[in-house]
Structure 1
Amino acid sequence: MSQAKVEATKRCYLVFGASGGIGSSVASQLVAQGHHVVLASRDSERLTQLADQLQMPCEAIDAADFEEVERVFAKGVELRGQVDGAVNCVGSVLLKPAHLTSFDELQQTIAANLFSAFAVVRAAAKHVGQGGSSVVLISSAAARIGLANHEAIAAAKAGVEGLTRSASATYARKGLRVNAIAPGLVKTKLTERIWKSERAATHSEAMHALGRLGEPGDIASGVLWLLDPTNQWITGEVIGFDGGLGRIKL
């Protein structure tokens, strides 16, 4: 393959929440495929470490801030001429019943999970590349099945799913595809309070039909599949990557 053709296959992707378990796995797999990736996260220390490791540019931002998200898209356009896709892996976990959840906790949960997703969709709609672009958002099995003590995160992720369907309709004619993945419990630093407890991990594994918790790579593989322009006839979908948690009762 000529150098020109190699360059033509390289695309520019933005990964928000890149310093987290799923985000770093997505970024690493995209770089391994030869793509250009702009990394964005609030955790500047871990973000810089990942950027040095992958030799890719990074921006320390609050992904719930519209202007800061716009800046990351502008950087992608500046570096590569266009943005071919973006994934929002920003999120949080709050396991509390509604009556014990404070207003500030709810507000923070909505901001981290829904506002960040909205900000990414909003900016992506303004920067649709030639030949179209793809946005992948992260929902949760908790938005699809009733799980005790998940009220705040379930509400936020249900908003992400509604956003996915509405935005996919609004921007389809512009060539912007919007899809989401709904994971079960994935073993990341964010969720380690759950899976590091032997009792909680055993209980959680039993809730997943395939008998194990997810790994970041399980979710990253789905994200890359949805970002790939080979799959450009898919939009408005929320796909469960959850070991059966959201659909199967044993």
Structure 2
Amino acid sequence: MESAQHHVADRGQSASILSPAFAGEHAWCSEKMVLSTELSDGVPLPRFFGDGGFRQAIDRYAEACGDSDRRAVVSMWSLYYFSTLSIPYVLARRLAAQALPIAFDEMTIALQENGLPRAFGVPHRGGHAAVEEDDGFGAIGPLLEQHLPEAVAKLNACGISAKLCWNNAAVYLDYALRLTRPAEGPDLTVFVRGCLPDGGVNPLCGSVRYVEEDGERVARRKICCLRYMLPGVPSCGKPCALPSQRNVQ
């Protein structure tokens, strides 16, 4: 965290940098999550999903994919959504002790030309988050409480299962958690515990499991993301839930 803060200071504390964690190897996050006031083409998420903007985005991406199976199109779209949302949030929380505002109803979204998510806008820089040793739930709790259930419900209404949506979210949560705790190994608890800390059902349970393969520890999905149905999209390799797709180039 110290080096990240120093890097931002060297750049003059640019207002465009939402978090001191978005620096160095994580600088790409500064283009994925910004203040809503700086995302000129951002649309409030409730309006985006409520007035046809989402379906138009899927139509544009489906056209770019050669009108492939729509389930695969929506699933791939959601992978961009969840990665753009989850990775910057977890990095800011764990590397900069910063709790970014993540409530679904308060955020905006901007798209690429092909309809895929490009960036999210947040209303403010959030506040301080205590840095504690946790099992992963502490870092992703606000996402589970304030954003992901609503996003999954919107995606589910467009034709893909909620379980697939949660699995797509899980792979990026797992990546971000491991990225920020490399010395302590993966945060398995969030994927093996059936209950959330508040006693509710954990929708991430079983979505990612760790296997040893060719001397490598692999985080493997439970449900395939269907990317193999899309032309020109590479296989995710060893993490794939389908054995037949793990070695496809």
Same fold, TM-score > 0.5, yes or no? no
